Structure 1
């Protein structure tokens, strides 16, 4: 190995390679003998494709471009498709992103094409559908409808609906049956009991987010296909129920954090009595950002496939009768919140620091696991990949700060002295970053730039108390924890104090910008689709979507009571305190963090001799999906680091940093 300046290491991981591996499969389901899921296609305009795996292991995409299996319910989307065997052949229903309509498709019929089941509405954001479920015996699809009633982002309602499978509602909203009254601002899909007599769902209302407080609701299913009077079984303002489901024998299970941790409970649908099946200070669920996330799946033999852990979650089988928990074998260290169960088999999405997300099947009868789809293949020699470490740093007041550290690593060059480091801040902020194979991280580490991902106070995976650290402290605790990780790396000699960067998108973009306006720790920042003006993002400002419109009530405080706090913490009002170069990246079609926030921040900087760059992308929304956009952003960020840290990255266009 030969020493070379950090940042100049030649890497086989170019931006196109990293970008082409962006995203992971999702929305797993099994019916018949086939397994289905959606997969990202950055090179096809960022669409999500529907993938079918047949019993012989062959994979196919029955819906070619431009079909895009994705919806915009709550803007982050929900499960976009469902399927069933009808008269021995598969029937798939799905939402198409371009028009948000629900379509039906018979993939095994020669020459068959998708046909619409729902109409288009020109009112506001139109009609949007999530968690479609085929009920062939009734000739219907049941789904959650998000229906706009006006042009404003809050002019909408969400409800349970039944859509005819024959297409008779394709141009007729009146033909879609509303299954019950609108009782909550937000609802998950109905989960009917095995005997078809009742159904459960989860509901919640502003100003709470689903990780703050929800209610598990139950109602009888009447003969006319509507819901009887509903009752709350468990939940409330300070209890978060995020998933409920029935076992084959009719037992109701729910994941709730009433103990301070999301544990799995058996719930009596008559009385609401809840019994913790395995009381542990670990999480058996996570934050409900998208309708249809699944952290547990009942199996035919009475056991339950569960995800569990502190921080990272792994797959296990829980015996409710004994509380025994048996972990699935294998090299995977992180499982995603999408599980499908059929017979004695459970299928999930799993990854590790050395393997990207794969479709993995556990046969609970034999205890064996195997990869059945999206098998990992090394895109580069593993010698160019970082060797990550799960770390706990010390923050202000001695509090624990969880992080993942990815030191620089190259097959030909040693780590020689303190290295440049980029502190990565995840979005959410009520979320978590996972320590998994990520070529975007390796794009930097293989060039001599370390990366540290911070699961700051407020992140999920560590119990409700850790999550609640961010209540009314957003822009304070997250910044302090990010600084603590950076300073911890400096103190131990891993990071160069003069070459520290911070980067993040969405809520991570907020923390990055807040850090540049309140600390002197970082020499530059890369900020993507951020929140920069809290007043605009408040209920009164109306600059974001309905799902998060009241989020700041808990993150910052009641906006009518502490308006000065909204101004004091907003980077847009402290632009004069930014003294280091930065890169700002924004999708022009973003309804969550709209471009006006960036416009306002840049206007406040006008006239200052501060190097910066602003790249805006037409057609991109919240979170970039297109290959060319992803490539541009990675190369721009690397060029920023080169100009600030004093190296010239080979083969990368120079980013124009102009005042």
Structure 2
């Protein structure tokens, strides 16, 4: 029989250490010969990412020991950091090492082999960075994107497609790197070579557009000297986002574009499967993949509305057959080899794992990073997919995670506290998967509501466009609408509502606390707090013009920046809050937090500020995540009158 205990006091086996140890997911799957390789996080090893291979006996082993960290910093969010081919003497892998951003080659089967650098260091600004490599063994090169800083400022940078010699001749000589194109666009993805080797395609865009606003699909002939000649745009534009392009084995050009309002798949300009679903997503990282063509003409696709299912599309009939299995969400990474399709899938009962689908049999199985319940699954939340009504009758999508414990219930006369989670981006969405950070709260008696506010992806361009010049308005209103609806229907305690988020979600949290009275407290994580500074050079190049669409050009609407910026309205905040920040964050630098806190001096608002050395935009180290989670729970305990056990008390300054 369940024991009655107040919300927030339920004992849980899901501790902060457990949640931190299981943070992150496999990424960047690929084949090296017949072998499946991918990257995995290592939170307890300084937050590095390692390269992992599936062995012949069905096991898996790391390819690179610490401190090698396979991760790119191009556009700061990075992208695909490795590629490989199989040679008679064994695998040849190229990868980006995070510490110095150099491209390395590694042949692990050779006796005494060590990674050897392929690219030089640069003392200028952020140096030389590389992403989205493609090994062209027949040319003795690696084709990839080069990001080269030309000065010390975050926008003193150029990006081009480049070819790096595999023989290491460019390791000390920048001039040995061959640029494949002229510097025509601010942003580019890695070129893809056609099956006959005569043409190449890639994506390009320029400020002030973000890639989900509008990109161009570029096509060029491959000249005898290997350069890409006479590039021309064949699809896309300022109002059409091409998210991915690949060559099919028959030489046709496949791409995902949203000219109809939804990211759908096209072959040589002809729509293959017209649906009000997304077959693509926001290109936050270079080299994301939502589709992959198979040798038999079928196409593996990640698709859905507010979700990402793995399916197989027959381009002739337009039919999609989805993978049978428990997975409700697949990440934007795919690899194919023969009839084999590799993806990374998860569900509300399982974390992300490497999944293999045999397109000839329809059989799917887990082959790597297999989910293994670290606690009894009875402690996992039982989520709900819901749609709420926002201002003006607009739909607001959300995932609701009620408090849940197998051995405890709350008194009949008590309603649970709830925390609204605002996702980052803001061009992103919440995935419907098992997250032990959420379970950390729900298993103790605190509900969580993840809100896909207007501006989120997964619901078409119109839904995504609701945030145009409305950042700090629509996102705040939609989160509040969900919180208040939960309270009105008796699901949540109106007096015990909180809001939290990181990055753009940190912005939404801060604006919510400075402009509404909905929440009793909030957790603000590596946020945007000062619009004017963010939009005038205090962030990295990729997002330096993002506010043109989210808020409006500063030269035209300067008052709007002051009107919405939390920094300018710090005097309005009355609720306690926790502010968490990485000191090495180039996207939302700690200076914004420091200015925000300076505005609060003398106001006696209970708050705590924790800054983490060695952390950037997104916490990766286990010890950081542990402290952050426990501090967040302590904030809610103090504000909501909860009594969790075994949690250090967060000291709130006034």
TM over 0.5: yes
Using structure 2 for the length normalisation, give the TM-score: 0.99
Report the Cα distance in structure 2 between the residues aligned to 1:3 and 1:297, rounded to whole angstroms. 52
**For residues 194-593 of structure 1, what are the structure 2 equivalents within 5 Å?**
194-267=195-268, 274-415=269-410, 416=412, 417-538=414-535, 541-593=536-588
Structure 2 unaligned residues grouped into runs of 5+: none
Shift in Å at residue 88 of structure 1?
4.8
Report the Cα distance in structure 2 between the residues aligned to 1:647 and 1:213, rounded to whole angstroms. 48
Report the Cα distance in structure 1 between the residues aligned to 2:329 and 2:31, rounded to whole angstroms. 21
Report the Cα distance in structure 1 between the residues aligned to 2:111 and 2:628, rounded to whole angstroms. 42
SS in 2 for 1:419: coil
1:22 aligns with 2:23: yes
Does the aligned pair in 1 maintain the 2:248–2:254 contact within 8 Å? yes
Report the Cα distance in structure 1 between the residues aligned to 2:491 and 2:317, rounded to whole angstroms. 47
Report the Cα distance in structure 2 between the residues aligned to 1:439 and 1:62, rounded to whole angstroms. 27
Aligned twin of 1:607? 602
Shift in Å at residue 86 of structure 1?
2.6
Shift in Å at residue 508 of structure 1?
0.1
SS in 2 for 1:90: strand
Q: Report the more deviating stretch, 316-325 or 527-536.
A: 316-325
Does the aligned pair in 2 maintain the 1:307–1:335 contact within 8 Å? yes
Aligned twin of 1:76? 77
SS in 1 for 2:533: helix
Report the Cα distance in structure 2 between the residues aligned to 1:12 and 1:87, rounded to whole angstroms. 49
Report the Cα distance in structure 1 between the residues aligned to 2:253 and 2:228, rounded to whole angstroms. 18
Aligned twin of 1:626? 621
Shift in Å at residue 198 of structure 1?
0.4
Structure 1 residues 289-335: Cα deviation after superposition (integer angstroms, max 9, x where no partner): 00010000000100101111100110111111111211111111001
Report the Cα distance in structure 2 between the residues aligned to 1:107 and 1:315, rounded to whole angstroms. 32
Structure 1 residues 149-194: Cα deviation after superposition (integer angstroms, max 9, x where no partner): 0000000100011111111110110111111101110000000000
Structure 1 segments, 4+ long, off by >6 Å, are none
Shift in Å at residue 647 of structure 1?
1.8
SS in 1 for 2:4: coil
Shift in Å at residue 223 of structure 1?
1.1
Does the aligned pair in 1 maintain the 2:404–2:443 contact within 8 Å? yes
SS in 2 for 1:451: strand
Aligned twin of 1:50? 51
SS in 2 for 1:452: strand
Does the aligned pair in 1 maintain the 2:83–2:134 contact within 8 Å? yes
Does the aligned pair in 1 maintain the 2:421–2:499 contact within 8 Å? yes
Does the aligned pair in 2 maintain the 1:393–1:484 contact within 8 Å? yes
SS in 1 for 2:450: strand
Does the aligned pair in 2 maintain the 1:358–1:373 contact within 8 Å? yes
Does the aligned pair in 2 maintain the 1:71–1:100 contact within 8 Å? yes
Does the aligned pair in 1 maintain the 2:203–2:215 contact within 8 Å? yes
Report the Cα distance in structure 1 between the residues aligned to 2:62 and 2:28, rounded to whole angstroms. 15
Of 636, 642, 648, the residue aligned with 1:641 is: 636
Does the aligned pair in 1 maintain the 2:91–2:108 contact within 8 Å? yes
Does the aligned pair in 2 maintain the 1:33–1:54 contact within 8 Å? no
Structure 1 residues 601-626: Cα deviation after superposition (integer angstroms, max 9, x where no partner): 00100111111000001110000000
Aligned twin of 1:2? 3
Structure 1 residues 564-591: Cα deviation after superposition (integer angstroms, max 9, x where no partner): 0001100001111100100000000000
Aligned twin of 1:93? 94
Report the Cα distance in structure 1 between the residues aligned to 2:14 and 2:326, rounded to whole angstroms. 24
Report the Cα distance in structure 2 between the residues aligned to 1:264 and 1:210, rounded to whole angstroms. 17
Report the Cα distance in structure 2 between the residues aligned to 1:493 and 1:379, rounded to whole angstroms. 33
Aligned-pair Cα RMSD in Å: 0.7
Structure 1 residues 71-112: Cα deviation after superposition (integer angstroms, max 9, x where no partner): 100000011111012335210000000000000000111210
SS in 2 for 1:228: strand
Shift in Å at residue 534 of structure 1?
0.3
Structure 1 unaligned residues grouped into runs of 5+: 268-273
Structure 1 residues 127-152: Cα deviation after superposition (integer angstroms, max 9, x where no partner): 00001111111111111000000000
Shift in Å at residue 56 of structure 1?
2.0
Report the Cα distance in structure 2 between the residues aligned to 1:433 and 1:107, rounded to whole angstroms. 38
Structure 1 residues 478-522: Cα deviation after superposition (integer angstroms, max 9, x where no partner): 000000010111011110001000000000000000000010000
SS in 1 for 2:595: helix
Does the aligned pair in 1 maintain the 2:34–2:337 contact within 8 Å? no
Shift in Å at residue 648 of structure 1?
2.4
Aligned twin of 1:173? 174
SS in 2 for 1:568: helix
Q: Report the more deviating stretch, 367-376 or 83-92.
A: 83-92
Aligned twin of 1:32? 33
Q: Report the more deviating stretch, 647-656 or 466-475.
A: 647-656
Using structure 1 for the length normalisation, give the TM-score: 0.98
SS in 2 for 1:348: strand
Report the Cα distance in structure 1 between the residues aligned to 2:110 and 2:403, rounded to whole angstroms. 52
Does the aligned pair in 2 maintain the 1:85–1:91 contact within 8 Å? yes
Does the aligned pair in 2 maintain the 1:33–1:55 contact within 8 Å? no
